Structure 1
Amino acid sequence: MIDRTSEVVPCHLDDFGWFNAADACYYSMLDPQPPSTDAAWQGRYPEGAVYRVICVDRVPGTNGGWAWLPTPPPGYGGISVTPAQLASRAVDQMALAGPAIGITVPPERVGLVGVPVWLWTEVTPTTWGPNSATASVPGLVVTATARVTQIVWDMGDGNSVLCPTAGTPWYEGGIESPTCDHIYDQPSFEQPNGAYTITATSTWDVAWSGGGASGSLTVTRSSSTTVRIGELQVLVTN
């Protein structure tokens, strides 16, 4: 119960929602939310949410309606975050990581100029997806699902490779990767520590829904390794 101007009123009513002492109105989040084209969103969809408002001590005809709010109003079930903010918390719970890099030239070996270097990532929930998590506060639950849509490989020689798949692990007898590889045209001996630094950046698409709202967000994660590239020396004798 909340004491407002010497009058005790319920904090929550099943038919009205949660009481906001700042304006003497009850708020309940619409479920489902109005279509994204509805004027109630004021052009801000999918941020925030639309609420039904009932004001108990207003002049008849001015006692509420629908209202868009960027965050839940004071007193709303203890909720202090929007569905979109809660989706970000769900993403944090997933522990998404950069690619688990696989290449045909491990650190103990030296690759050759002109020979394809295969590029791939181990496919797991944290390196490729799908990966789902749920975050909640009293009165609001949001579930998010993340999937990688592409990996951009910075090869360290001024070139990058965009691959829309996880790549193909090398197999015995393979020459060119069927999905993702790169050919170096210069050796790496002039690079720091005599090796090219490869940085792989994955782009995660996250779809979320909850609290009568839905949306998407994009996050990236990166990881790195090195590769040494040499030249095949041909010895000519007379």
Structure 2
Amino acid sequence: MPVNRSRSAALGTSTAALTLSISALIFTAPNAAAEPVDFGKGGATEEKGGGDKTGIFAAARIQYSGSVTKNGSTGNVTSTDVNWTPPPCWYAPYLGAKDFKKKMSEDIERKKNTPGMGGTAGAAIGEMQRHYEDEYGWTDTPGYKDYNVENDGKGMFWAGVENPNEPDPLKRSSCTELPFWVENGDGPPPQYEEAIKPEILAALAYQHMELPDTKVTLAPEATTKVNLPTWAWLDKAVFDEVQATAALNVPGFNIQATTTAKPVSLKLEPGTEDAETYPASGECTINADDSIGEPYAKGKADQDPPCGVKYLRSSGDGTYKLRATITWDIDWTGTGGAGGDLPNGTFGNDQTVTVQEIQAVNR
């Protein structure tokens, strides 16, 4: 069906009106958990899906596994690239044609009957209704006839999904394109750059990844002396790679991505300027056996540690906070052989250190 440009032009529909209409009608996947729901096709269920028992929102839910947060919150990884952020929203499978018709028609009628819903916003809602009922196009987007119910079971409507972990509400609600149809087994049209894909799932797995605590072994432990080198190390057994997976599995569309974080270095920050680090940069690199630093052993008291710290002043009645931060090299692999690099991530912990003066006896 040719795009009905004159109808949209005559209405003078603005971007603001379009955003208002979509935000009023398209409900993105909520954070709250719900009872098991039916996708509407194929009998698949998602026990962590949001919405209700008719399948609303269920298809848009992403499943996380591996070393990830258990409550859906942002993980503990800090990106070393300050300009990199996870996606604030994306487009994902939403509903089959019959379910979509039921949901949309009910919401359209409710909004049309809302007091004060007139003018440009009311016209936009009417135009949206024609887009799905009469096959008239919305601006440059071809429309559908009777919500495409003749193809029910052969595909799904995709819609915008907000990232609940995005703090900026404007970014979170920026996926405002009208829901569009995608046949089972096909990918979304290329103009939808934010459509869910392995790269987006990899970024989301990164966002939810939980790295292990970074508690280094110290010698002397907890309490040391002024000008006495403190050795620091991490054994291979507690310093291993971490994986997190994000997956979207619905009838006709199954993708996933796994991020792998590998430790590459340890940075020591003594917690005071009155200290020296070994090496001078404070960056302890990984050894050939995947450990960091070297355990202290008897007879090494006169040696400088390959990884450690020397305090030059007593902590008095208090303590210093020694911060140990691991840098992780992170990459990903996904469906179809996709893969690549993600920004390095860091995570650190503070350890309290008491530094005492060495007492000398005058004879």
The TM-score bracket by the shorter chain reads 0.5 to 0.7
1:211-226 to 2 correspondence within 5 Å? 211-212=335-336, 213-215=338-340, 216-226=342-352
Change (3 A) 1:143 1:23: closer
Higher helix share: 2
Change (3 A) 1:181 1:25: closer
Question: Do 1:205 and 1:217's aligned partners in 2 also have CA atoms closer than 8 Å?
Answer: yes
Alignment partner, residue 283 of structure 2: 162
Matched, 1:208 2:303: no
Question: Do 2:268 and 2:308's aligned partners in 1 also have CA atoms closer than 8 Å?
Answer: no
1:1-238 to 2 correspondence within 5 Å? 2=97, 4-6=144-146, 8-9=150-151, 12=154, 26=183, 28-29=186-187, 53=189, 67=190, 69-72=192-195, 81-91=196-206, 95-107=210-222, 110-124=223-237, 128-138=239-249, 139-158=254-273, 161-165=282-286, 166-175=292-301, 176=303, 178-189=305-316, 193-212=317-336, 213-215=338-340, 216-237=342-363
Change (3 A) 1:85 1:98: farther
Which amino acid in the other structure matches residue 360 of structure 2? V
Q: CA deviation at 1:157?
A: 1.7
3-state SS, counterpart of residue 86 of structure 1: helix
Alignment partner, residue 64 of structure 1: none
- Number of positions where the alignment pairs a residue of Structure 1 with one of Structure 2: 183
Q: Distance in 2 between matches of 1:149 and 1:69?
A: 36
Change (3 A) 1:24 1:146: closer
Which amino acid in the other structure matches residue 5 of structure 1? K
Q: Distance in 2 between matches of 1:146 and 1:24?
A: 36
Change (3 A) 1:70 1:167: farther
TM-score calculated relative to the size of structure 1:
0.63
Note the alpha carbon deviations across 1:8-59, whole angstroms, 9 max, x for none. Answer: 126547xxxx776956665834xxxxxxxxxxxxxxxxxxxxx6x4xxxxxx
Which amino acid in the other structure matches residue 235 of structure 1? V
Change (3 A) 1:155 1:24: closer
Q: CA deviation at 1:102?
A: 0.9
Note the alpha carbon deviations across 1:175-234, whole angstroms, 9 max, x for none. Answer: 335520122222221xxx432210111122211121343231332211111222223233
Change (3 A) 1:23 1:68: closer
Which amino acid in the other structure matches residue 134 of structure 1? T
Q: CA deviation at 1:99?
A: 1.4
Question: Do 1:70 and 1:82's aligned partners in 2 also have CA atoms closer than 8 Å?
Answer: no
Q: CA deviation at 1:172?
A: 2.2
Q: What runs of 5+ residues in structure 1 fail to find an aligned partner?
A: 30-50, 54-66, 73-80
Q: CA deviation at 1:93?
A: 6.8
Question: Do 2:215 and 2:324's aligned partners in 1 also have CA atoms closer than 8 Å?
Answer: no
Q: Distance in 2 between matches of 1:69 and 1:164?
A: 42
3-state SS, counterpart of residue 322 of structure 2: strand
Backbone CA RMSD of aligned residues? 3.1
Question: Do 2:215 and 2:351's aligned partners in 1 also have CA atoms closer than 8 Å?
Answer: no
Change (3 A) 1:227 1:28: same
Q: What runs of 5+ residues in structure 2 fail to find an aligned partner?
A: 1-95, 99-143, 159-177, 287-291
